Amino acid sequence: MAPTAGGRFVGLAAVVVAALLGSAYALGQSMAPEPRPQPTGVSAHADDPPHADQPPGDRPRPPAPTSGPAGPTASPTVGGQNGATGQPPETAGDGLFGARVGTGSAVVALTFDDGPDPRYTPQVLALLRDYDVKATFCVVGENARNHPDLIQAIVADGHTLCNHSWQHDVLLGKRSPDVIRADLLRTNAAIRDAVPGAPIGYFRQPGGAWTYPVVSVAEEIGMIPLHWTVDPSDWRAPGAAKVAAVVSAEVRPGAVVLLHDAGGDRQGTVDSLHELLPDLTGRFRLEALPIPTGAT
């Protein structure tokens, strides 16, 4: 049977309506916003190195020391507070929070970190003895416990002791004041187990990663926070010649020189002293940092 005119009209109308509906749907989809990706909880910087693995150039650089009675950087007030305000000292802007960066006079101070180590500390002591130089040893608590004879040798030769935390904890300054205090007191106790009554007048934060809490707690215990002026990066073991060249070129009156007698292969540092000690003693007065009045 042939379709009627009415039937053809209805069919055509249905086709037109379907086409219009399809166009409207497509237009709506094109105007809808793109869905946002959901967070996965994984950092985009998961492979970034922690602070301890950053090169020294990424750490705060202390101002150059200037000799004089007041010293290059005023020592923080007792308790690490700026007067009675309870606020961090004004020097916090340099990343040091008031840590000392120089000797406060024309004297140059050699400091040796991370020991004692039976492979290198005796060599360092012998060379210092040969040139009649006194230095400052920033010792790690575990090493002091394991090698009390070397702590005794350091003190017997007239060198100054400095607390360098129990286990070289670069993140110590980010921990609670109670944890910081327990760490520093445990280190002091290990040192004094070897040398009862030994004065420990300084604290050096591993990695130079200073914070207000670690400076404040160190002062509360009676220790001066000690940074440095010259860093030859001898912990990278660049070789004796490189260590000697950097120190010789950068040292100035009032400088505190950072060296290491433990924590890795330190033979390059030991060997550099054969060149450094005659050079520096010919140009500067080298002394151990003085024991502060009231040091515990």
Cβ atoms of residues 226 and 202 within 8 Å: yes
For the chain, the distance separating the N- and C-terminal CA atoms, rounded to the nearest angstrom, is 116
Q: Which of 284, 224, 217, 295 is nearest to 257 (CA)?
A: 284
pTM of the model: 0.73
Distance CA 121, CA 115 (A): 7
Cβ atoms of residues 247 and 257 within 8 Å: yes
Please report the pLDDT score of residue 85 as a whole number. 31
Our answer to whether residue 260 is catalytic in this structure is yes
For the chain, 296 residues long, give each residue's pLDDT as a single digit of tens.
444 444 454 444 444 444 444 444 444 444 444 433 333 332 323 233 333 323 334 444 555 554 443 333 333 333 332 222 344 333 444 679 999 999 999 999 999 999 999 999 999 999 999 999 999 999 999 999 999 999 999 999 999 999 999 999 999 999 999 999 999 999 999 999 999 999 999 999 999 999 999 999 999 999 999 999 999 999 999 999 999 999 999 999 999 999 999 999 999 999 999 999 999 999 999 999 999 887 76
The tally of CA atoms less than 13 A away on the side-chain side of residue 166 is 13
Cβ atoms of residues 212 and 220 within 8 Å: no
Please report the pLDDT score of residue 64 as a whole number. 54
Exposure of 237 by Cβ count < 10 A (0-12 exposed, 13-18 middle, 19+ buried)? middle
Please report the pLDDT score of residue 293 as a whole number. 83
Q: Give Cβ neighbours of residue 54 (< 8 Å, ≥ 6 apart).
A: none
Edge-first strand listing for the sheet containing 160-163: 224-225, 200-203, 160-163, 136-139, 109-113, 256-260
What six digits make up the tokens of 283? Answer: 């140009």
Catalytic residue chosen out of the listed positions 113, 169, 231, 234: 113
Catalytic residue chosen out of the listed positions 53, 260, 261, 274: 260
Please report the pLDDT score of residue 62 as a whole number. 54
Distance CA 228, CA 247 (A): 12
Please report the pLDDT score of residue 94 as a whole number. 67
Distance CA 162, CA 224 (A): 9
Unique residue bearing structure tokens 């914070």: 211
Cβ atoms of residues 156 and 194 within 8 Å: no
Please report the pLDDT score of residue 73 as a whole number. 36
Our answer to whether residue 132 is catalytic in this structure is no
Distance CA 169, CA 90 (A): 26
Distance CA 187, CA 144 (A): 8
